[in-house]
Structures are given as structure tokens and as C-alpha cells.
Amino acid sequence: MPNTPPTDRERFVTLMLPHLDAAYGLARWLTRNDELAEDAVQEACLRAFRFFGSFRGDAPRPWLLRIVRNACYELAERERSTRQSDTFNESKHDAEAAAPGAVLVLPVNPEAALIARAERDQVRACLDALPADYREVIVLRELQGCTYKEIAMIAGLPIGTVMSRLARARRLLQARISETMRQEDTGT
């Protein structure tokens, strides 16, 4: 036994399973449901294994995360009737409707201090409430530490879109957190 060449499964386990934590972390944020996240990761790993023959690259993590991401959206789509989530589409559309060149230079930011003292739960709730395509880029960048290039690969976006979407997503999230803090300050 010890001298036989590794099977596909052994190679898969060696290459891909070290990224299971990353896969699960991403899935939790995309599905916003721990159980669904596990199902999505399980499904994605099997799918990845089936397509393992087509994996040529030297970057197993983005390759796997891309499959995880797609599995999450498919599962979430199936669950949609129970978890209707796009409550904040309106604010998203507002943000997107703003003049594209001007979006980043917004009112000076006295919000830094406000954001710095937000409670963890409040930050998490605001991130949870972001529209999925905004939440996705933030989670990939901030929580998974992906580079723009990796995000582009995982989310299937041009790199320029990654950059502008991340900027918008952060701006929206900043606004949501500040709003939460202000409401708290005024006791509403």
C-alpha cells in the first residue's frame, strides 16, 4: 500500500481540504445560515471532486471558493421562499444610481469614530443586511483576505468591477453602521 501513487481522492483531500475552513466561512456569510452553509460546502466539495480532473491551476483556494460560491447561490435560490432577503435593494439602487465618477468622494468622514465604537453584533447585522453581491466582495476581501485578482476569479467579475463594487459596498456598509449608531445615540 505505501508505495502506490496517490488516488484522485487522496490528491483532492491533500489539495482542497485545507481550504475547508475558508469554504465554510464564505458559505456562512453568503447563505447566512450555518446549516445551509454546511450543505453548500458538502455539495460544492463533491462537485469540485467530480470536476477535479479539470483543475490545472496552482491556486486551489480560489478554484474551490468559486465552486462554493456558486453552490451557495443555488441553494439559497432553492430556499428563497422562506428567506426573502433583499430588503435593502432600495438603498443599493440608490447607491448605484449615484454619479459613477463621484461615488467615492463623499462627505468627509466623521463616521470613523462612530464606526470604531460599533458593537460586534451591530457590525455583523449590518453586513448581513447588505445585498448579496456587496456582501460577497466584502466577505472575500476582509474576512477571507482575498486579493482583487482572486475575488475576480471567484465571483466571475472583471477586476475593475471588483474595485468599484468593493468601494460601493464599503460605503454602504459605513453608512448603515453609522446610521445604526446614530439611532442608538438618539435612543430610537
Q: Which of 95, 173, 161 is nearest to 129 (CA)?
A: 173
Q: Residue 103 and residue 178: Cα distance in Å, rounded? A: 18
The answer to whether 38 contacts other proteins (rule: CB under 8 A) is: yes
Per the CB < 8 A criterion, the answer to whether 95 and 89 are in contact is: no
The answer to whether 132 contacts other proteins (rule: CB under 8 A) is: no
Stretch that binds other proteins, among 39-47, 65-73, 76-84, 88-96 (CB under 8 A): 39-47
Q: How far is the CB of 39 from other proteins (least distance, A)?
A: 9
Q: Residue 64 and residue 59: Cα distance in Å, rounded? A: 9
The answer to whether 170 contacts other proteins (rule: CB under 8 A) is: yes
The answer to whether 64 contacts other proteins (rule: CB under 8 A) is: no
Cβ-based burial of 8 (10 A; exposed 0-12, middle 13-18, buried ≥19): exposed
Position of cell 466539495? 45
Q: Which of 134, 162, 130, 168 is nearest to 146 (CA)?
A: 162
Per-residue contact string for residues 66-105; x = within reach of other proteins by CB under 8 A: -----------------------------------xx-xx
Give residue 32's region: left, alpha or beta (phi > 0; psi -120 to 50). left
Stretch that binds other proteins, among 64-72, 74-82, 89-97, 109-117 (CB under 8 A): 109-117
The answer to whether 25 contacts other proteins (rule: CB under 8 A) is: yes
Pick from 140, 141, 152, 180: which binds other proteins (CB under 8 A)?
141
Q: How far is the CB of 86 from other proteins (least distance, A)?
A: 21
Terminal alpha carbon distance of the chain: 68
Q: Write out the residues near other proteins by the rule CB under 8 A.
A: 7-9, 12-13, 17-18, 20-21, 23-25, 28-29, 38, 41-42, 45-46, 49-50, 101-102, 104-106, 108-113, 115-118, 120-121, 123-124, 127, 138, 141-143, 145, 147-148, 163, 166-167, 170, 173-174, 177
